[in-house]
Amino acid sequence: MRSNVRSIEEYLGEADRSPTALGLMLAQSLKELREEAGLTPAQAAKIIGVHASQMSRLENGQRRWQETGLVSALRAYGVGPEGDHLTLRLLRASAESEWKTSFRSDVLPGWFKLFAGLEPAAKELRSFENRAVPGQLQCEPYAQAIVEGDAMGATNLARRRLKLRKERQERVLRKNGPAQWVVLEEGVLDRQFAEPHVIRAQLLHLKKLLEDYPQITVQILPTRLGVSRPSGSFTYLRFDLEGISDKVYVEDPTGAKYYDDEEELQEYQMTFDRLAASALDAEQTPRILDEVLKGLQ
């Protein structure tokens, strides 16, 4: 059971609120009202005048509510006009222009939009990384090397993807931003994505972030340890917002998957806990970075 959950009204009053998060809060709120009214999704869809498949998408946040349909839903769920204000305020706030809308799908594909919109609203981001330093903790030369490699020579695409990464960093690396806890595979530290001076710049940047941002924790998982590891990276997003469950984000060769089922969340939480328990203490990370830096001289 989550404690200290921020209510819809509280989150609406925050200056750096996320329209993506607000949209999910709205969807969950209306789903709960329908369930309290004793209506099935099919029954509610018929009353409101939408297709049953549309109802499913409305309730999982994949489709936006329109104001007329929302008011019809409130009446069907037994909510009178006096109860409209907060819900309509939430609807309008969720439809506000969001920073990520300026990026085309080749830079911000559909499967990544939800993650990009939700990560600034999270209470904590817990990540296991076995390919590279997480994007939020990358310095510009290191990020550029990775982005250019992934773009396979498409200079304009790489430039726009780098801009997206900077925008994401600005929204997460803020004073009241989410805590970040990263378990980093040791081999990532000297993996040659670029020239040694770029890797050196990245390690120095990581050291500086650990000094400047107490909400960032990085543990190194030694390669020699025989602990079972996932085949790829994942991020566990923890929330303290009414109506938003925790989520796990896992990329694969064709896109990404999101998990929020209770059993799946528990499995990933146990995996992260095991990795963190096997990794070296976070207090040792600056020393380990210094050792790798010496080898790059």
pLDDT score for 2: 59
Give the domain CATH number at 87. Answer: 1.10.260.40
Residue 257 backbone dihedrals phi, psi, to 5 degrees: -125, 150
Instruction: Name every residue whose Cβ is closer than 8 Å to that of residue 281 and which is 6 or more positions away in sequence.
Output: 219
Query: Can you tell me the distance from the alpha carbon of 73 to that of 67, in angstroms, rounded to the nearest whole number?
Result: 10
Judgement on whether residues 114 and 27 belong to the same structural domain of the protein: no
pLDDT tens-digit profile, the chain (297 residues): 556 899 999 999 999 999 999 999 999 999 999 999 999 999 999 988 999 899 999 999 999 999 999 999 999 999 999 989 999 999 999 999 898 988 999 999 999 999 999 999 999 999 999 999 999 999 999 999 998 877 666 788 889 999 999 999 999 999 889 999 999 999 999 888 889 999 999 999 999 999 999 999 999 999 998 888 998 999 999 999 999 999 999 998 889 999 999 999 999 999 999 999 999 999 999 999 999 999 887
Judgement on whether residues 33 and 81 belong to the same structural domain of the protein: yes
Q: Residue 83 sits in which domain range?
A: 19-97
Number of separate domains in the chain: 2
2 domain residue, yes or no: no
pLDDT score for 153: 65
Q: Which residue has the tokens 């925050």?
A: 14
Instruction: Extract the tokens encoding 288.
Output: 């380990």
Choosing from 97, 119, 134, the residue where a domain stops is: 97
Between CA 281 and CA 129, with CA 212 as vertex, the angle to 5 degrees is 45
Judgement on whether residues 29 and 73 belong to the same structural domain of the protein: yes
Give the domain CATH number at 148. Answer: 3.30.870
Judgement on whether residues 153 and 214 belong to the same structural domain of the protein: yes
Instruction: Extract the tokens encoding 271.
Output: 């995996």
Judgement on whether residues 228 and 119 belong to the same structural domain of the protein: yes
Integer angstrom CA distances of residue 293 from 19, 105, 135, 206, 225: 41, 37, 20, 12, 22
Choosing from 97, 118, 152, the residue where a domain stops is: 97
Judgement on whether residues 88 and 135 belong to the same structural domain of the protein: no
Judgement on whether residues 39 and 78 belong to the same structural domain of the protein: yes
